[in-house]
Structures are given as structure tokens and as C-alpha cells.
Amino acid sequence: MATWSNLNFQDSASPLMEQLIFFHDHTLLILMMITILIGYLMYMLFFNYYTNRFLLSGQMIEIIWTIMPAIILLFIAFPSLRLLYLLDEVNNPSITLKTIGHQWYWSYEYSDFTSLEFDSYMTPTNQMNPSDFRLLDVDNRIILPMKSQIRIIVSATDVLHSWTIPTLGVKIDASPGRLNQTNFFIYRPGLFFGQCSEICGANHSFMPIVIESTPSKTFIQWIKNNIYIG
């Protein structure tokens, strides 16, 4: 998870987040090159005392500064479109997780298993353990297997919410009366924290999300132990 001194992205835990970070760095490099070039040209114009008194129009330079930005935009557009299609692709998921946003908590249902659903509330400060994270931990974590393609279906019962896990590169709106879906792939074990990213009322800041990624055997054992919850 991010710390107060970290200005970068959180460490990725999914291929999609890796691709998002690569695209960010790619675009930032192009912007830095443009900024350096424009800065150099402005510097030369400010401190150049010579003028071309025969220059009335320059068709060639106008063609160049029209075509060059179009080419630069293509270098940004093609990777962006590729990444958008990857983010929306849901192909043969191993597990489906159904998520419903409420004011102000999340409820989850494992649609592939019978009667496995629960609500997830933020852990109050007076009930926290010393190792818990304030305003981020919940009473019931989402348990998911690592190295499995996971589909998540998101909706809401009252107002607009947004289910977000930055480490996985997932941000999807929870809209009342609508089902939105996306997918992700977790390639390492750990705890991954997120929060509602859509202002949904007075307690918007107090409905965190916690995913606990475990090996498949541990996940199956958890399913066996909790199959009758709800």
C-alpha cells in the first residue's frame, strides 16, 4: 500500500496495473520531450537578437508543426486503445464476485458457490488490533485465489459508488439499477486496500475495501469453512 512519502503508483499486483504504469511512463516521457523542446525554443527566441526580415510565411515549418503533433498523438493513442480493450476484456473467468454498494458498506456474493455472501464494514477504531490499518481495515475481507482470472460484477442499491483497488488497476462504478463488470488477475499473495472513489454521502470516506489474496488451496479451504454463511 502507499505511504505518506510515496508520490508514485503503488506496487502493481496484476498485469493490468503493470500495463497502466508502463503507459503512464510512456506518456510522461513524450510530454517531457515536448516540454524540453518548447522550453529550448522559447529560450532561444527570448535571447536571440537577430530577426529574419525576409521571412513573410513559412509553409514548410507550418506543415512540420501540423504533422508532428498528429504523429505524436498516434504514439499515445495506439497504446491507449490497446490498454482500454485489455481492461474491458472478460475471458473465461475462474471465479465471479458480485459486489453491491450501500450507504455506507459493501456486500459481496460468491456467485459460483451456494449461500456464500456477507457484508463488509469498516473496523471501528475501538475494535482494531495493533496490526490493523486505521480507516482501511474491514471486519470481513474479500478472500480470492491468486493466479486466477476473476470477474467482478458491481452494482449499488441507493446512490453511485465506485469500487476501487489501486494496486490491481481496478476502478469500476457501482450504479443503482445497472450491472458493470470487469476482470483482474492477482499474481502474488497479500493484502490489497481500496476505498470508495465516488462521493456517495456523509460516510463516503468510511467504506474501505480489502482483498486478501491467498493460494488456491487456502481459498478452497476457506470456501469449505464458510459455505453456509448468510
What whole-number distance in Å separates Cα of residue 56 and Cα of residue 43? Answer: 22
The rounded percent of the chain whose pLDDT value lies above 90 is: 42
205-221: pLDDT as tens digits: 899 999 999 998 898 88
4-33: pLDDT as tens digits: 777 788 888 888 899 999 999 999 999 999
Mean pLDDT along residues 101-122: 87
What whole-number distance in Å separates Cα of residue 87 and Cα of residue 208? Answer: 23
List beta partners, residue 149: 185
50-54, 59-63, 129-133: least confident range: 50-54
pTM given for the model: 0.80
Residue 229 has what pLDDT?
Answer: 46
Residue 52 has what pLDDT?
Answer: 74
Residue 211 has what pLDDT?
Answer: 93
The rounded percent of the chain whose pLDDT value lies above 70 is: 96
Please name which of 28, 30, 34, 16 lies closest in space to residue 82, comparing C-alpha atoms: 16
What is the band of 228 on the pLDDT scale with cuts at 50, 70, 90?
A: low
52-56, 140-144, 149-153, 195-199: least confident range: 52-56
Distance, C-alpha 171 to centroid of its chain: 5
